[in-house]
Amino acid sequence: MSESFYRKNICGLSKRNANLSKAIFTECYAGLPLIQVVVKTLVLSIFSSFVGILAALAAIFATGLLGAKTDSFGTFFLGVSVVFLALIGLLVTFRRGFSAFLGLSLATFVISGILILLLGSSSIINAFIYIAVTVTSQVIALWLGGIATAASQTLSKKILISAGLSALLGIAVTLLLIGQLSSTVNPDLADVAIAISILFSANLIGCNSLESTSRFPRIARLAINLAAIGGTSFQQADLTEADFSGAMLKHTDFRDANLTRTRWHGAKGLEFARLGSTYLANPRIQQLIVTCDEQGQNFDGLDLTGVNLLDAELQDASFIGATLNQSNLRGADLSRAILKQTQLEGADLTGAILTGAYIEDWGITSTTKLENVQCEYVYMRVPTKENPNPLRKPDNLRETFAEGDFADFIQPFFGTLDLYHSQDIDPRAISIALRNLSTNHPDDNLQFVAIERRGNTGLNLRFTTVPEANKSELSHEYFSSYAQIKKELPLATQIKLAEQDATIQTLEGTIERFMKIGTTTIQVTKIVTENRDININAGDSANISGLVSGDGVVNLGTISGNVTNAINQLPDRSESEQPNLKVLLTQLQHAIETDANLPDPDKSDLLEQVQALAEAKQTEEPTKREGITRKAMKMFNATLKSLPDTAKIAEACSKLLPLILKALGFPI
C-alpha cells in the first residue's frame, strides 16, 4: 500500500533515495521547519549588512578622486569617469547583465588611462586603484545583494524587508565610521546617494532573478539552493505517480528524483524549490502541469516526457514535435489540438478527447493506450497554404466515429518506422539504402506498408517493425546510408547493384511509378525487403502490383491464370447493344502477354488491372464498381504514359479500353 502524507506537515523531512511510488502528498506542507526559518532570517540580516558595507565602500571610492587635493585635470576627469561608471553601470547591469557592466568598466579604464597619459597626472597609479576598487566592490555588492534579496523573497516579504533594513544600516554605519576615523575622507550626500543606488539595484536584480525571463538565472539558483538547505528533501527519490496536488513545496529538494507521471495540479511554491535538471525546471512545463489548463497555448518542441496531465484542458493547444512519451493524458481534452510529429510512446490517453485533433505523423506505438478515447473525427494533416486539405477522417463530413471506432481506425499505425524525404528524392538510392538496412537488421523484421506523398515534393516511406526495434537508430542509419550513397557511390555502381538485386529493382520501380501517378497514398499489403515476392495493392487512387519470385523473375504465370479465371466468370453473351466484355478482356490480356517490348513488371501490373475490370463487372454496387474501374483505368494511363505512342500495347489499349468502358456501362 502506498504511503499517505495527506495534509501533513513534512517540513524538514528527508526522503532521499526513498521509494515513494504512488505516495499521496495531497495538500501537504513541505519546506523549511520553523527553526531553519529563524536561523536563515538572522543569517540573511547579517549578510545584507555586509552588502551595505560594500555599497558604502564602492560609493566612497567612486567619489574619492573628486575630493582629492590636486590641480591635475586628468585626475579630476578620472574622478568624474569613476562616478559616471558607478551610476551608469547600475543601469547597464540591470538591463544587460554583469558582462556588459564589466565591458563598460574596461572601456572606461582604457579610455581614461589614455587621456591621463596624454594630459599628464601625478596620481595615475592611485587613480587606477580607485577604478579597480570601485568596480570590484560594486560588482560584489550587486551579486551578494541580489542573492540576499532573492533568498529573502523565497522566505517571506517580512524577511525581505528585514534584510533591506539591515543593508541600509550597514551603509549608515560604514559611512559614519569612515567619517569619524578618516581625516581625509568626509562622506557626503553624494556618497549616500551612490550607496543607496547600488543597494536598490541589487534589490532589483534579486527580484528580477526569480522571474521566468530573468537575465540573472545563476543568482536565482544560488539563492534558492542556499535557502532550501534544511528543507524537505526528495533528492533521488522515486516519486513515480506520486500525487502532490495542492501541496506547498517551497524549499523542497527534487533534484535527480524520478518524477514520471507525478501529479502537480494546484501545487504551490515550486518556483522556490530545488529542481535540478528535472522537467520542473522549465517554467513553461511547470505552469502546464500545475494549472492543467493551457488551452490554445504553444508547447512545440518541448520535452514533456513523463508529465502528468490528467483531465487537463488542452483544447487548441499545439504540441508540434513535442515529446509526450510515458505521459499521463487520461481524460485530457485535446480537442482541435495539433499533435503533428508528437511522440506518444507509452503515453496513456485513456478516455482522452481527440475530436478535431491534427495527428499528422504523430508517434504512437503499440504501448500507447487509447482505450475509451472520445473522438468523432480527426485530421490526418495540418493544413497549409500550399495544401489546405486537412484529410478529415472519416472522409464523409456527415459521418463520425462510433464509440471505440477510433482505436480500431488508428491501430494499423502502431509501431511504424517513418522515413520522410523532403527533397531531391532518388528512388535508386532509397532502394539500396533500404536493402542495406534490412540486411543489417534482419531481427527487426522490416515490412513496407505504405508510401505517402507529403506536400509538393515530400515522400514518406512507412515500415512496420518488431515492437522492440530501436526506430531512432534505424532511421539514423538509413538516412546516413542514403546520404552516403547519393554522395559517394558512383552512378554506374548503383545501376549495377540494382541490376543484380531484384529487391532493389522492385523497390525502385515502385517508388518511381508512385511519383509518376501523383496519388496521395498507396497502402502496401505485402512487401518484404529481401529477394521474395512483392505485392502492392492500391490505396485510394492507384494499384501498383508486382510479384517477384526468389530468383527475381516476375511470376506472370500465376497472374495470367488468375486473370483467365476472372474472365471466365463473365457471361458469354453481352447485354443488348453492348460490346462483349469477355471477348474484349481476353483480347487485351493476349495483347499484354504477347508484347515482347513490355517489361515484365509492367505486364504484371496491367494484367492485374484486367482482372480488376473483370471483377468490376460482377460487382452489383454501382459506386464500388465505378471505383474499381476508375482505379484500373488510372493504372493503365500511368503505365502507358511511360511508353512511346507507337508501342504495340499502347495501340491495343487505345482501341480496346473505350469499348471495355462501354461494356461496363460507362459513357465514352
Higher pLDDT: 279 or 187? It is: 279
* Nearest in space to 435 (alpha carbons), one of 381, 536, 507, 373: 507
pLDDT at 619: 83
Higher pLDDT: 563 or 131? It is: 563
pTM (predicted TM-score): 0.62
Q: What percent of the chain has pLDDT over 70?
A: 81
pLDDT at 77: 57
Residues 6+ apart with CB under 8 A from 297: 288, 317, 318
Q: Are 437 and 448 in contact (CB under 8 A)?
A: no
The domains located in the chain, with CATH, are 34-225 (no CATH), 416-535 (3.30.1360), 556-663 (no CATH)
Report the alpha-carbon distance of residue 256 to residue 235 in Å, rounded: 6
Long-range contacts at 615-618 (CB < 8 A, ≥ 24 apart): 615/566, 616/664, 617/570, 617/581, 617/663, 617/664, 618/569, 618/570
Residues 6+ apart with CB under 8 A from 209: 146, 150, 216, 217, 219, 220, 223
Q: Can you state the percent helix, strand and coil of the chain, rounding each to 5?
A: 50, 10, 40
Least confident of 88-92, 180-184, 519-523: 519-523
From the CB of residue 298, how many other CB atoms can be counted at a distance below 10 Å?
Answer: 14
pLDDT at 364: 84
Q: Are 154 and 223 in contact (CB under 8 A)?
A: yes
From the CB of residue 80, how many other CB atoms can be counted at a distance below 10 Å?
Answer: 13
Per residue in 632-654, pLDDT tens? Answer: 888 788 777 767 766 788 888 88
Question: Is the pLDDT at 535 greater than 50, yes or no?
Answer: no
From the CB of residue 536, how many other CB atoms can be counted at a distance below 10 Å?
Answer: 25
Angle between helices 189-209 and 73-96 (to 10 degrees): 20
Instruction: Give the pLDDT band (50/70/90) at residue 431.
Output: confident
Per residue in 359-404, pLDDT tens? Answer: 988 888 778 899 999 999 999 889 888 778 788 888 888 889 988 8
Kindly report the backbone phi and psi dihedral angles of residue 534, in degrees, each rounded to the nearest multiple of 5, phi listed first. -130, 130
Report the alpha-carbon distance of residue 375 to residue 342 in Å, rounded: 18
Question: Is the pLDDT at 125 greater than 90, yes or no?
Answer: no
